[in-house]
Amino acid sequence: MRKVSLLVIGLVLAFQVRVYADEGMWLLSLIGQVNMDEMNEMGLQLTAEQIYSINHASLKDAVGALDDGSCTAELVSPDGLLLTNHHCGYGEIQYHSSIEHDYLKNGFWAMTRDEELPNEGKTITFLVRMEEVTGQIAPELNEEMNMGERNSKIRSLERSISSDATVGTHYEATVESMFNGNRFFLFVTETYTDVRLVGAPPESIGKFGHDTDNWMWPRHTGDFSIFRVYTGPDGKPAEYSADNIPLKSKHYLPISLKGYEKGDFAMVMGFPGSTDRYMTSWEIKELLEIEHPNRIHIRGIKQDLQIADMMADDKVRIQYASKYSRSSNYWKYSIGQSKGLESLNVVGKKQEREAAFTEWVDQDKNRKASYGNALKDIREAVDGRKELQNAYQYLEETIFRGGMESVMFASDLTALEWVLADPEPYQEDVSNVVEGLKEVSADFYKDYNQSTDKKVMTAMIKLLIEELDEEYLPSNILEVKTKYKGDAEKYVEKYFKRSIVTDQESFLAFLDNPSLKVLRKDPAYIAMIASQKYFELRGRLAEYDEAYTRGSRLFLKGLVEMYPGKEFYSDANSTMRMNYGEVGDYFPRDAVLYTHYTTLKGVMEKEDPSNFEFEVTDRLKELYQGKDYGPYGVDGKLNVCFTTNNDITGGNSGSPVINGNGELLGLAFDGNWEAMSGDVAFETELQKCINVDIRYVMFIIDKYAGASHLVNEMTLVK
């Protein structure tokens, strides 16, 4: 027993190492051990207890995960007022928009709390506490276990630990695997489900530059939106009710009007979604040869068809705004990351590390026994799954990610088939399912345009026939290739003519008198059943998981042993992290210097009335021309965005950028084009975090929108 305990202690200590200022996504409970001295030298005036405390209000209490970690938001008032990015609130802004109330185009501002708009499904989760529980899990594991046995044991222990952590509370708890399965941490959280939209600038501010400027610097985007958290009258989380009250914030961030200078300390707290910094060269090649090219090609076709319809019809523009934005963001990310991985020779650098690792392993028989197969396992898994991975992604992109909307909506009908197949004992269930489908369908058809779905589906079917072997085609697509002789237009025309799913009136009429026979003959339902080919491929891909997971875990464990004292940290996984750096500029290429901030002058210089991406409202031009910036401008200028060298990724969108005094400088919203490889290989010289200046945010709220009542809730530090 003593040997096992010493092994666990050694493993824990091996991971507790110091860090560079700009790289790393650090767990809050560990910062007092490894980060504070360096942060204090850089300008941090706070203590570790002021950043993370389980007994007192601290910075962690002001920062929450939106929608299970899709974005981050921060409290900025004692009454639950939240700031996040415009693109993080985009779905809600779009949902509440219509031709009559075009909040996307014109913005939205609740001038009283009664006007704040509820959002079903919108959540904010705050961290209550965290602790490492490796010592409770690692001793129960051994290398003789296969993946199924190991995972089963881990899940059992996680359930027990989580249950014990929440006894007698309304909190939730999860145990998260870190460092590729080598360490484990418990997170106790509190989730609020009544989150209301309070304000958002028009797209011409909140998405200024759109796809053209996305991932680019210099940037001039006012990427923010405002929400408010509500609780039950007892102050605890509660579903929406008119009786709910604003959250009484444990801690909220003061707003700094002092600004920043080059070299100033900057800390980012948030919920980064996913990084793969310990990825091997074979996995990078998989990205470059399969994943990115597929995504770029397929989404490019979908998006061209969608944007053409959106530009031709305001109703379609509103319907597809959020769908298009979600798709295009990661489409451009894939383009940029591919260029970055190639230009920075990331494959070559990974190969050098792998060669050094192999040499180190071969020097000792005990290392060979422990780590000798780690890289081999990864390589063989990645090489073995290539063809399946390609087919799997094609089905995912062409069918499941907006390629065939009506097919995906038909998946909601599976419960109806089940109860209709044996209606006698389930008569009440039939009624419940039908009512549920009516509710779901209202949301679907609100943002559905038959003509757009028809065009995109036709293009996607053509792609599948052209690009995939018959072995991987769903049966309905194979039928297009054989029975219809590859004529996708003919198949789609018949599909839309006969399906009850593609038309709201027909669908509701069907629900009034549901028939199992009609359902099973419906082309959309048949196509949905056929699309289960995707899950068959997922099952076949899972056959490679055992070797890949084991190899990845042992490779990282070996790297830590190989480089004692080197800076290692866990990849992002939507748990709360912080990192620190400084405000600064950079040289993107020879003889070009990008300064660390932009101003409103740049918005006016980019204006192009003929291009919706660069429209500027008359109101903003009026304020600019009069230099009417209030307390938010300095010397006749108004800063819009700025850059720091903080380490961020998806999920950090909306994260607060905090100065050394714990005050809000801005909101993180993007990375830069030159370092798009950053999720798998951080570039110290090039990587930048792009942030909207909090003074620009306040200017838009106060001077542009006239919503000074919101500013009055906040604490402004001058």
Which residues are annotated as catalytic?
Answer: 87, 223, 653
Radius of gyration, alpha carbons of the chain: 27
Q: What whole-number distance in Å separates Cα of residue 212 and Cα of residue 203? A: 14
Residue 114's contacts (CB-CB under 8 Å, 6 or more residues apart) are none
Q: How many residues does the chain have?
A: 718
**Per-residue burial over 338-364, b = 16 or more CB atoms within 10 Å of its CB, e = otherwise:** bebbeebebbeebeebbeebeebbeee
Backbone angles phi, psi at 670, to 5 degrees: -165, 165
Q: What whole-number distance in Å separates Cα of residue 384 and Cα of residue 388? A: 9
H or E element that contains 7: helix 2-15
Q: What whole-number distance in Å separates Cα of residue 237 and Cα of residue 710? A: 23
Burial of 252 (C-beta count, 10 Å sphere; 0-12/13-18/19+)? buried
Angle between helices 292-312 and 450-467 (to 10 degrees): 160
Burial of 200 (C-beta count, 10 Å sphere; 0-12/13-18/19+)? buried
Residue 461: half-sphere exposure toward Cβ, Cα within 13 Å: 27
Angle between helices 504-512 and 427-446 (to 10 degrees): 170
Contact yes or no for 155/89 (Cβ under 8 A): no
H or E element that contains 82: strand 81-84
3-state secondary structure of 227: strand
- The residue to which tokens 């501002």 are assigned: 109
Q: Closest Cα to residue 360, out of 566, 562, 557, 563?
A: 562
Residue 673's contacts (CB-CB under 8 Å, 6 or more residues apart) are 215, 216, 217, 336, 340, 588
Straight-line distance from the first to the last Cα atom of the chain, in angstroms, rounded to the nearest whole number: 59
Q: What whole-number distance in Å separates Cα of residue 453 and Cα of residue 492? A: 10
Q: What whole-number distance in Å separates Cα of residue 395 and Cα of residue 478? A: 13
Q: How far, in whole angstroms, is CA 656 from its chain's centroid?
A: 16
Q: Closest Cα to residue 452, out of 523, 404, 497, 399?
A: 404
Q: What whole-number distance in Å separates Cα of residue 644 and Cα of residue 522? A: 54
Residue 19's contacts (CB-CB under 8 Å, 6 or more residues apart) are 26, 34, 35, 38, 567, 569
For residue 246, count other CB atoms closer than 10 A to its CB. Answer: 19
Contact yes or no for 524/407 (Cβ under 8 A): yes
Backbone angles phi, psi at 118, to 5 degrees: -70, 155
Q: What is the 3-state secondary structure (H, E, C) of 562-631?
A: HCCCCCCCCCCCCCCEEEEEEECCEEEECCEEECCEEEHHHHHHHCCCCCHHHCCCHHHHHHHHCCCCHH
Q: What whole-number distance in Å separates Cα of residue 472 and Cα of residue 360? A: 42
DSSP state of 410: G
Backbone angles phi, psi at 314, to 5 degrees: -60, -35
